[in-house]
Protein backbone atom coordinates (compact mmCIF):
# COMPACT_ATOMS: atom_id res chain seq x y z
CA UNK A 1 0.00 0.00 0.00
CA UNK A 2 2.45 2.61 1.15
CA UNK A 3 5.83 2.94 -0.46
CA UNK A 4 9.02 3.43 1.47
CA UNK A 5 9.26 6.97 0.16
CA UNK A 6 5.75 7.96 1.40
CA UNK A 7 6.51 6.43 4.84
CA UNK A 8 9.73 8.43 5.04
CA UNK A 9 7.95 11.65 4.08
CA UNK A 10 5.25 10.97 6.68
CA UNK A 11 7.86 10.39 9.40
CA UNK A 12 9.73 13.56 8.46
CA UNK A 13 6.53 15.64 8.51
CA UNK A 14 5.43 14.25 11.88
CA UNK A 15 8.91 14.84 13.34
CA UNK A 16 9.04 18.41 12.04
CA UNK A 17 5.58 19.14 13.43
CA UNK A 18 6.51 17.78 16.87
CA UNK A 19 9.74 19.77 16.94
CA UNK A 20 7.96 22.98 15.89
CA UNK A 21 5.26 22.53 18.51
CA UNK A 22 7.80 21.61 21.19
CA UNK A 23 10.06 24.60 20.53
CA UNK A 24 7.28 27.16 20.32
CA UNK A 25 5.69 26.09 23.60
CA UNK A 26 9.03 26.20 25.45
CA UNK A 27 9.48 29.90 24.59
CA UNK A 28 6.02 30.71 25.93
CA UNK A 29 6.61 28.54 28.97
CA UNK A 30 9.91 30.30 29.71
CA UNK A 31 8.20 33.69 29.62
CA UNK A 32 5.35 32.43 31.80
CA UNK A 33 7.77 30.92 34.30
CA UNK A 34 9.74 34.16 34.52
CA UNK A 35 6.55 36.15 35.02
CA UNK A 36 5.29 33.77 37.73
CA UNK A 37 8.67 33.83 39.53
CA UNK A 38 8.57 37.64 39.55
CA UNK A 39 5.02 37.62 40.89
CA UNK A 40 5.96 35.08 43.58
CA UNK A 41 8.92 37.17 44.73
CA UNK A 42 6.67 40.24 44.92
CA UNK A 43 4.07 38.39 47.01
CA UNK A 44 6.73 37.02 49.35
CA UNK A 45 8.11 40.51 49.98
CA UNK A 46 4.58 41.81 50.67
CA UNK A 47 3.97 38.92 53.08
CA UNK A 48 7.20 39.66 54.93
CA UNK A 49 6.21 43.34 55.30
CA UNK A 50 2.76 42.36 56.63
CA UNK A 51 4.29 39.89 59.11
CA UNK A 52 6.59 42.63 60.41
CA UNK A 53 3.65 45.03 60.79
CA UNK A 54 1.65 42.39 62.68
CA UNK A 55 4.53 41.70 65.07
CA UNK A 56 4.99 45.43 65.67
CA UNK A 57 1.29 45.94 66.46
CA UNK A 58 1.25 42.95 68.82
CA UNK A 59 4.18 44.40 70.78
CA UNK A 60 2.46 47.78 70.95
CA UNK A 61 -0.75 46.20 72.27
CA UNK A 62 1.16 44.30 74.95
CA UNK A 63 2.75 47.56 76.07
CA UNK A 64 -0.62 49.34 76.19
CA UNK A 65 -2.23 46.61 78.30
CA UNK A 66 0.40 47.02 80.96
CA UNK A 67 0.83 43.27 81.22
CA UNK A 68 3.36 41.16 79.41
CA UNK A 69 1.07 38.12 79.43
CA UNK A 70 0.19 36.51 76.15
CA UNK A 71 -3.60 36.96 75.95
CA UNK A 72 -4.06 34.00 73.60
CA UNK A 73 -2.99 31.58 76.36
CA UNK A 74 -5.35 32.92 79.04
CA UNK A 75 -8.44 30.87 79.81
CA UNK A 76 -11.43 32.54 81.41
CA UNK A 77 -12.65 30.66 84.50
CA UNK A 78 -15.20 31.62 87.12
CA UNK A 79 -15.24 30.31 90.68
CA UNK A 80 -18.32 29.70 92.84
CA UNK A 81 -18.34 28.45 96.46
CA UNK A 82 -19.73 24.98 97.11
CA UNK A 83 -23.05 25.11 98.97
CA UNK A 84 -25.71 22.57 99.80
CA UNK A 85 -29.20 23.16 98.45
CA UNK A 86 -32.41 21.28 97.92
CA UNK A 87 -32.74 19.13 94.83
CA UNK A 88 -35.52 20.74 92.86
CA UNK A 89 -35.66 18.63 89.71
CA UNK A 90 -38.16 15.76 89.70
CA UNK A 91 -39.64 13.38 87.17
CA UNK A 92 -42.94 11.58 87.76
CA UNK A 93 -43.06 8.04 86.38
CA UNK A 94 -45.38 5.07 86.68
CA UNK A 95 -44.39 1.49 86.10
CA UNK A 96 -43.95 -2.04 87.39
CA UNK A 97 -40.71 -3.78 88.32
CA UNK A 98 -40.40 -7.53 87.80
CA UNK A 99 -37.39 -9.43 89.10
CA UNK A 100 -35.81 -12.31 87.25
CA UNK A 101 -33.83 -15.03 89.01
CA UNK A 102 -34.47 -13.62 92.47
CA UNK A 103 -32.86 -15.37 95.44
CA UNK A 104 -33.48 -15.41 99.17
CA UNK A 105 -30.47 -14.69 101.40
CA UNK A 106 -30.41 -15.40 105.14
CA UNK A 107 -27.69 -15.69 107.78
CA UNK A 108 -26.37 -19.06 109.04
CA UNK A 109 -28.28 -20.88 111.77
CA UNK A 110 -31.54 -19.19 110.85
CA UNK A 111 -30.76 -15.70 112.09
CA UNK A 112 -30.87 -14.53 115.57
Q: How many domains does the chain have?
A: 1
Asked whether 68 and 62 are in contact (CB, 8 A), the reply is: yes
Domain, as residue range, for 24? 1-62
Residue 112 belongs to a domain = no
Residue 81 belongs to a domain = no
Ordered mean pLDDT values, 10 residues apiece, the chain (112 residues): 75 81 65 89 93 89 66 76 86 84 76 59
**Tens-digit pLDDT profile for residues 6-27:** 778 888 888 888 787 766 655 5
Of 54, 51, 70, the C-alpha closest to 62 is: 70
Q: Sort residue 110 into left (φ over 0), alpha (ψ -120 to 50) or beta.
A: left
**Burial level of 62, CB count in 10 A (0-12/13-18/19+)?**
middle
The beta-strand segments (E) located in 54-111 are: none
Confidence (pLDDT) at 67 = 57
Residue 37 belongs to a domain = yes
Amino acid sequence: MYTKQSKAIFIVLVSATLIAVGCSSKKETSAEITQKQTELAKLKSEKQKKDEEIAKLQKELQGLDGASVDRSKIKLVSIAPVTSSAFEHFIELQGKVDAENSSYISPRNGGG
